[in-house]
Structure 1
């Protein structure tokens, strides 16, 4: 009788949900990240880091609508679960604290899932304008030194992504580890959350690293200027998922907004 038949997993415990629900291929990846240990460790993320702040908002309003797109609407709990699953997949691709991850996704719920998934995996999000010319994009990617690139399957791969692992946010593969629960980001307040690019004085791309603590301070400044929004307030998000628009999106989600990312009718 093998260990599973006897009521114990190969870890010496009763079978987990990973053993019961995951196909063999998924369990092989899950075995390296034992589910109970990681789910418990998630609470240890520093409360000043962005993933922990988002989870705190989810706990306050799990059933409230978080993001509305042309394709679907996600509650805070659904957005949390889906971005958790993507974060595990990004971990499998080598994303860890301070690893820079490119994000080139059109305005959609998938864009929001990808942004949160990158942060929950511990990565630093480098948001790219979908309309950036190939020449500009190649120069930016060279400067950013990306390790992983998140995009959509219908988009052409960007020049300069050779050797960079590509994750398609609209693929089933990116969400196969959905039963693993919340990962621990492992970031610190001083760790890089995002890299914002500007043209610079020479016209060449120039990256500005932003720490979790720095972004949080920026959000507190926004609170002081704008105050707290009433329930039901919508925030229209720019089509371009880059630069300041990403910070606006994060601020809205961490404050419980209903974020609209679809084109106006």
Structure 2
């Protein structure tokens, strides 16, 4: 069976889900169920400070079914992210962490230097680090070298729904790293998740596109199917792209009415 392997753990689903922005916990839980996801990320800092929509969220997630992936969303520096990762481990008992270092509140672009510094330290402390990064092939390779379990380049700005705007850079990452590549942020519709998987991504992480859909549960199921289809297409291997048309039926032996040797 084709499975996703991260830090020695195997998963049949290649769709990771976020838990923010849902109208209530019941919709969130129904969306998680419909998506088939096995890895669920939660913002520990927002839980810590009691942010709206996060109070009690850890009690609403069945940790016997899902691998919890605490994230450091809201951290602006490497130091903050390391502190929150340690807090998450103490609070949840898991050493998995989705590392986010985002100093700019307007554009929400991850800090490559701060991310690398925090990732190196957390890997040394035994964390399973899944870093959210710009689509930077050099950074991705360096994060792999210090021991990160995955690399997670953004498709486009987080929450934007712009789809995969960094395709060329992500393709280089896919060619140059051996760690699982998770396309994270910016996906707006299931077809974009399928595109990421067709490119060879190991997984995608989706939150806003599902949580802000008119019907989040139905959209979660659509993303589930799209990720499966994209992965199967990647494994099957696409046809070559040709400059000119190519007939789908052979031309040899075709009877032509204009052929003088064929009686009419």
Settle same-fold status: TM greater than 0.5: no
TM-score normalised to structure 2 length: 0.27
Q: Which has the higher contact order (CA 8 A, sep 6+)?
A: 1
Q: Which entry has the higher C-alpha Rg, 1 or 2?
A: 2
TM-score normalised to structure 1 length: 0.27
